[in-house]
Chains A and B, each alone.
Chain A
Amino acid sequence: MKRLVTTRQLSLILIISLITLKGLLLPPIMAKDLGRDSYIFAFIPLILDFLVLLGFLFIMNKYPGQSFFQILQQLFGIVIAKVIMFFFFCFFFIKSCIIFQANFVYLNENLYTTFNWLIFAVPILFTAVACAMRGVTAFARLVEFFFPVIIVGVFTSVGAGVLSADFSNLLPFMEFGLSKLPKVFSYALWFGDYLIMIVFFGNVKTTQKFNLRIILSIAGGIVGVVAFFAIFYSIHNYSAICHTNAISDMLQTMPLSSDVGSFDWILIILWDISLFLFFTMNVLGAFYSFRMAFFDQLHIPVAIGIVVLVYVVNWLINFDIYFTIDVAQKYLWQGFLFVQYGLPAIIFSFALFKKHKQNNKTAGQPATMQNSKAESKRITLTREGVLDKGGSVQ
């Protein structure tokens, strides 16, 4: 029997996706443009992302057991489906590059001021490839395993921050009105958290109250992210722009850190686990999209090729995160908006209005069991193995 991702696991994956990158550079750089109202403006893309999630849940329910690519094929035909998957590949690839870079900056600023990231990164990339190859269920179990410690780290960091927060720093409410609203869209790069769901279509065990549980956990996550932003601005106020890693700087500015020495290092490492999981998640997304957009063969070389490309791109730009931010905010944000919100909106509209012909033979079955030639071949060869590993590959 095929192993499927549980509702709980999917919720945890989406929460990791929601919180990880937002706990680093986003609050400081948003403060530069949007001031103390950044936490309010952050609501807008978060809500848009939430709508994307609702759309995906709708599609997932309408096309049970089918992979995302299969749904696209049904809605648009194979050519457009491949084009869409190409866009998703670009999205996940760029995001992987940025997370990889953020990971470097995070470790470099907090733990190892002088370390050779080029060597240190190799095992991380290697593990990411392994995770991508093992499939979504293995990855989901990994997330489930680490999630409690990550959450303990987050709560401890934020809890410590609350002690030195002055919430009056958030006033006046909407200092500049809505005049700065368009600016918020230039931060699109840090959002689009639930696109990773495309990998999980057809691989999720839809139990009772599946939708409700996902929606509630993400709603809680959104409130948590906004609260985190608010606490960050309450602590740092005008100097928020001077920071690079919000979550770790929250720890280092607390009076307690002077006394307890390197206690904060433990929490810093916990967040790095979250970064690793998020990176792997995006590699997984890029891997899946690439295979659907181009060819569904040579899995190991493709996975290795993706991470090597991530590595090379970052090496070429010298891991300069501010360069990446500059490029993303000047040239890429429109593209990100299109992939994050435009494409899901189009797919949702088609899914909503197009009549779905239920294939009685395949309906309800896991995505791996359906009409891929390559998959059929492999099923014939080693049925058990394919069902296990094929979760992510469909």
Chain B
Amino acid sequence: MKYLWKNKILIVLLLLLTILFPSTISTPQQSRTENIVTAVGIDKNGEEYEVSIQYVIPYADSGEGTFKMSSAKGKTVGEAVETLSVQTGRLSGFAHCRALLFNQEASEDDMTSILDYFIRIKPNTNNIVLLHTKKSSKDTLSAVKNFNGEFYTILNANGLSNDQRRYQEFKNIGDYYNSYFSPSKCIEIGVIDIMDSSSEQSSQSSGSSGGSSGGSSSSGSSGSGSGSGQSPNASSSNTSSSNDMSSGSSGGESGGGEKKVFNSDEKLILKNAKKVALLDKEQSSNLSFFNPNIKDMSYSLEHFSDELCKDVSIIFDIHDKNCKVVPSFENGVPHYTLDLTLNMRTTEISGGNVGEEMYYVLNKKFSETLKQTLKDSVTNNLRQAEQHFKQYKYDVINCYETFYKFKNKEFKQYLSSLPEGKYYMEDVVFDYKVTIIQQL
């Protein structure tokens, strides 16, 4: 006892133990009180929200968790999550949540009211990837459920993860709020879909939807082909991402047959937290040329003819893509110049009349005709994208930001000169400089 009183450090340790020990041992294991949610789906049906969660309950002894799924309804997202806690007997912990899915009706409503719950919960959930699904989020999640358990595997397998591949840029909750508070208030969200693997038919509709204003876009995109996006489209050129719905399948029980989840390569455009357009595959790819963060793409040129070949389809892999945007003003009119450099490599030639020399030339050097055709084709794609975003008045290419940052005074003058109600992008002149570099 005498020794004890002399040793101050020991006294301190004992005191700390006395204070902390009771509260520590009386606290239940976190695995008993919380579900680790890996993905969440939100379906809006009328005035009600149905929240579905894919979650795991970790067991220390086995080292593996069991993936489960639950869903509950509520007047608000928070209420539904509360109900889920009652149903599962555990609180829902979103710290490890990878993705948040929402359905068609939710996208037409105010998205901010859906996401609000998630930015207020702790810890920070800003890096949850947002995904739109044209079917119900609940069905999509149940299709995912049995595929190696975790949703993130599905994201990776479909090129949905920004870290693994760069075919698409997927936005998270942080990005959503960043764009929501920005002057343009626009964001593009990735779309995933499910299909019945027994029939191998895609559930995606091939035409694009028009958006809130009711129109629809013109071109139909390729649908169900697997592999690198060969298109049955008869147009002279077509773009597509190379991660065409192949991997990332999963077993699911709903709807009878086995369901597959795939990246539909479409994009949902939100403006002011509401849907303005759903871009089909082709429109989505066209828009990707504007995005400096998307580096890898696949590009197909169809019915190409020159001195060496006739009516062939050539698939290119865009190995690297560099975008440089130069904003300028001419006579008070804003000019948005996109300097696009594409490093391309031939990956496949099919159809038509292909001679021996054609293989040689395509592997060694693109012909001038080919380069020019590619330039024209890409420029045409860019024009189509431009036409679409001007028509539906959305700015996901950061046009406003670019002018505001680099040509601030002129742009402010330009904005003040615009008649009331006129969209600022309407009078912007877009110039494109496309450079094709052959990647050997």
Contact A172 to B23, CB < 8 A, known contacts A239-B174, A239-B181: no
Q: In the bound complex, what is the Cα–Cα distance between A253 and B124 (angstroms)? A: 9
Nearest Cβ on chain A to B9's Cβ, whole angstroms: 10
Q: Does B104 contact A (CB under 8 A)?
A: no
Chain A window 215-238, contacts with chain B (Cβ cutoff 8 Å), 1 for yes, 0 for no: 000000000000000000000111
Q: In the bound complex, what is the Cα–Cα distance between A271 and B178 (angstroms)? A: 26
Asked if residues A242 and B119 are in contact (CB atoms below 8 Å), the reply is yes
A-side residues, CB < 8 A to B, are: 108-111, 113, 116, 119-120, 122-123, 126, 130, 168-169, 171-172, 175, 236-239, 241-243, 248-249, 252-253, 255-259
Find chain B residues with CB under 8 A from A256 CB: 163
Contact A242 to B177, CB < 8 A, known contacts A116-B23, A172-B408: yes
Asked if residues B182 and A237 are in contact (CB atoms below 8 Å), the reply is yes
Q: In the bound complex, what is the Cα–Cα distance between A225 and B124 (angstroms)? A: 23
Q: Does B126 contact A (CB under 8 A)?
A: yes
Q: In the bound complex, what is the Cα–Cα distance between A237 and B405 (angstroms)? A: 12
Asked if residues B19 and A239 are in contact (CB atoms below 8 Å), the reply is no
Q: Does B98 contact A (CB under 8 A)?
A: yes
Asked if residues A108 and B122 are in contact (CB atoms below 8 Å), the reply is yes
Asked if residues B16 and A123 are in contact (CB atoms below 8 Å), the reply is yes
Q: Does B15 contact A (CB under 8 A)?
A: yes
Residue among A123, A168, A236, A255 making CB contact with B20, cutoff 8 Å: A123
- Which residue on chain B has the smallest CB distance to residue A242? B177
- Which residue on chain B has the smallest CB distance to residue A118? B23
Contact A252 to B163, CB < 8 A, known contacts A171-B406, A172-B408, A237-B182: no
Contact A252 to B123, CB < 8 A, known contacts A126-B15, A172-B408: yes
B-side residues, CB < 8 A to A, are: 12, 15-16, 19-20, 23, 93, 98, 119, 122-124, 126-127, 152, 161-163, 172, 174, 177-182, 404-406, 408
Contact A113 to B178, CB < 8 A, known contacts A171-B406, A172-B408: no
Find chain A residues with CB under 8 A from B93 CB: 113
Total cross-chain contacts (CB, 8 A): 78
Q: In the bound complex, what is the Cα–Cα distance between A255 and B15 (angstroms)? A: 42
Find chain A residues with CB under 8 A from B163 CB: 255-256, 258-259
Residue among B15, B126, B177 making CB contact with A249, cutoff 8 Å: B126
Q: In the bound complex, what is the Cα–Cα distance between A267 and B176 (angstroms)? A: 26
Q: In the bound complex, what is the Cα–Cα distance between A119 and B172 (angstroms)? A: 36
Could you jot down 23 A-B contacts, CB within 8 Å?
A109-B123, A110-B124, A111-B123, A119-B19, A123-B16, A123-B19, A126-B16, A171-B408, A172-B404, A172-B405, A238-B179, A238-B180, A238-B182, A239-B174, A241-B181, A242-B119, A253-B127, A253-B172, A255-B127, A255-B162, A255-B163, A258-B127, A258-B161
Nearest Cβ on chain B to A330's Cβ, whole angstroms: 25
Secondary structure class of chain A's binding surface, majority of residues: helix
Nearest Cβ on chain B to A194's Cβ, whole angstroms: 31
- Which residue on chain B has the smallest CB distance to residue A173? B408
Nearest Cβ on chain A to B175's Cβ, whole angstroms: 8
- Which residue on chain B has the smallest CB distance to residue A252? B124
Asked if residues B181 and A119 are in contact (CB atoms below 8 Å), the reply is no
- Which residue on chain B has the smallest CB distance to residue A168? B405
Asked if residues B178 and A171 are in contact (CB atoms below 8 Å), the reply is no
Q: In the bound complex, what is the Cα–Cα distance between A175 and B122 (angstroms)? A: 33
Residue among B23, B124, B179 making CB contact with A109, cutoff 8 Å: B124
Nearest Cβ on chain B to A88's Cβ, whole angstroms: 29
Asked if residues A236 and B19 are in contact (CB atoms below 8 Å), the reply is no
Asked if residues A236 and B174 are in contact (CB atoms below 8 Å), the reply is yes
Asked if residues A113 and B123 are in contact (CB atoms below 8 Å), the reply is yes
Q: In the bound complex, what is the Cα–Cα distance between A242 and B172 (angstroms)? A: 14
User: By CB atoms of chain B within 10 A, which of A236, A238, A248 has the most?
Assistant: A238
Asked if residues B23 and A258 are in contact (CB atoms below 8 Å), the reply is no
Q: In the bound complex, what is the Cα–Cα distance between A168 and B179 (angstroms)? A: 15
Q: Which 5 A-B pairs have the closest CB atoms?
A: A238-B181, A171-B405, A239-B178, A172-B408, A239-B177
Asked if residues A110 and B123 are in contact (CB atoms below 8 Å), the reply is yes
Asked if residues B122 and A109 are in contact (CB atoms below 8 Å), the reply is yes
Asked if residues A122 and B19 are in contact (CB atoms below 8 Å), the reply is yes
Find chain B residues with CB under 8 A from A168 CB: 405-406
Q: In the bound complex, what is the Cα–Cα distance between A120 and B23 (angstroms)? A: 9
Beyond A113-B123, A168-B405, A239-B126, 12 additional contacts (C-beta under 8 Å) are A109-B122, A110-B124, A122-B19, A126-B12, A126-B15, A168-B406, A169-B405, A238-B178, A242-B119, A252-B123, A256-B163, A257-B127
Q: In the bound complex, what is the Cα–Cα distance between A130 and B16 (angstroms)? A: 13
- Which residue on chain A has the smallest CB distance to residue B175? A239
Asked if residues B23 and A119 are in contact (CB atoms below 8 Å), the reply is yes
Nearest Cβ on chain B to A163's Cβ, whole angstroms: 11
Find chain B residues with CB under 8 A from A113 CB: 93, 122-123
- Which residue on chain A has the smallest CB distance to residue B22? A119
Nearest Cβ on chain B to A304's Cβ, whole angstroms: 13
Find chain B residues with CB under 8 A from A243 CB: 124
Find chain B residues with CB under 8 A from A175 CB: 408
Q: In the bound complex, what is the Cα–Cα distance between A171 and B406 (angstroms)? A: 7
Find chain A residues with CB under 8 A from B181 CB: 238-239, 241
- Which residue on chain B has the smallest CB distance to residue A111? B123
Asked if residues B178 and A249 are in contact (CB atoms below 8 Å), the reply is no
Q: In the bound complex, what is the Cα–Cα distance between A257 and B19 (angstroms)? A: 34
Nearest Cβ on chain B to A337's Cβ, whole angstroms: 31
Asked if residues A237 and B178 are in contact (CB atoms below 8 Å), the reply is yes
Contact A252 to B16, CB < 8 A, known contacts A108-B122, A238-B182, A258-B163: no
Nearest Cβ on chain B to A258's Cβ, whole angstroms: 6
